[in-house]
Structures are given as C-alpha cells and as structure tokens.
Amino acid sequence: MPADPSDVFIDATVFMGMHSGDQAVRRACKRFFIERLAGGVTMSWEQVGRCDDLVWGYDRDVQDAYYPFMDVLHTEMAIARVGYGEEDTRLAFTTTALEGLPSHERLLLGQVLSRSGLLYTASPRLTGRSGLPVAAVPAAPGEGAEDVFPGHLEKLYQDSLVLTVDSHTL
C-alpha cells in the first residue's frame, strides 16, 4: 500500500459503494472511508462527476437527504480532486495492460500510473484483471456491529441511505 495518501486513489465505485444495495459492498466501502478519514485519498475530477451524475438521476428529496453527507465528507476528509494531465492521457492510451477498458477507466488508471499510485475500487472488471495498480476495497467483517463514522457524520450518513444504488450501475 502506498504510504502517501496522495498515492491512494479511489473511483466512483468506492464512493457510491457506501450506498450500494449489496450490503457487503456498502459495509466495505463505508469501512474504507472511516479508516481513511485522517489520511485522505485522491479522486479524479471525472470520478467525482460520475458520482454527481448518478445522484442527479434521483428525485430531489433523495438528493437533499444524500448531499449533506457527501458535502461534509468532502470537507472533513482530505479528498484531493485532480484533473488529468498530459502524461495521464498518454499512458491511458499507450499502456497495453489498459487495452479493452472503457475510456473513463483507462484515463483514471493512466492518472494512477503516472503518479505511481494504487487505485482502490469495487469494480469487478478492474479487480478481475492482473497487472494493474488496482486493489479491491477490503471486505468488512460480516458479523458484528457495523463501523461508524465519527459523531455528526454518522447521522448524516444514516440520513443519506435513502439513496441506494445497484452495484451493477457503479
């Protein structure tokens, strides 16, 4: 695992995975964020936008219940939001190991490669390929109490759970 939080990348599957209808995915993604609250992660602008695009497809009342959690989490956790650079795009479309992936995943992995990072994801397509700087979000224990965000963030998270996404759309 990279030591520097700027080397730890996530995609939209991890962020929106906290609202997955698949409870194992939801618990794993939630735990991932709780464990990294003090350390931080990096997301590409496109991956942030993919999250927003998904949420904007829900009714306004669901958005209003969801966004306070997302807003506070993005404020209280060091989430570096970065755009693609020239090296990122070059690697995305010249790295043989990325062939056959959708463009948004190639671009993200080009960014990860150019920064010698590691991408955490809940995407079976990415975790099922070898030779990529990719790690599956570690599973949360199946038994016992669920991990909890600190104080007010847990309340906002619980309120935000009116939004549930199908893991296959992530």
DSSP secondary structure string for all residues of 19-47:
TBSSHHHHHHHHHHHHHHTTT-EEEEHHH
Q: State mean pLDDT over 124-141.
A: 93
If we measure between CA atoms, which residue out of 56, 31, 53, 115 comes closest to residue 80? 115
In the chain, % of residues over pLDDT 90: 86
Contact 5, 150 (CB under 8 A): no
Q: Over 60: is that where the pLDDT of 1 sits?
A: no
Residue-wise pLDDT tens digits, 88-103: 999 999 999 999 999 9
Give the pLDDT score at 93: 97
Residue-wise pLDDT tens digits, 3-39: 455 699 999 999 999 999 999 999 999 999 999 999 9
Q: What is the mean pLDDT of the chain?
A: 93
Residue-wise pLDDT tens digits, 143-157: 777 899 999 999 999
Please, which pLDDT band fits residue 2 given cuts at 50, 70 and 90? very low
Give the whole-angstrom CA distance, residue 139 versus residue 2.
Answer: 19
Contact 170, 122 (CB under 8 A): yes
Residue 48 CB neighbours (<10 A):
17
Domains in the chain with CATH codes: 5-142 (3.40.50.1010)
Residue 52: half-sphere exposure toward Cβ, Cα within 13 Å: 8
Give the pLDDT score at 167: 74
Give the pLDDT score at 3: 44
Q: Over 50: is that where the pLDDT of 126 sits?
A: yes
What's the token pair of residue 140?
């949360």
H/E stretch holding 123 reads none
Higher pLDDT: 77 or 140? It is: 77
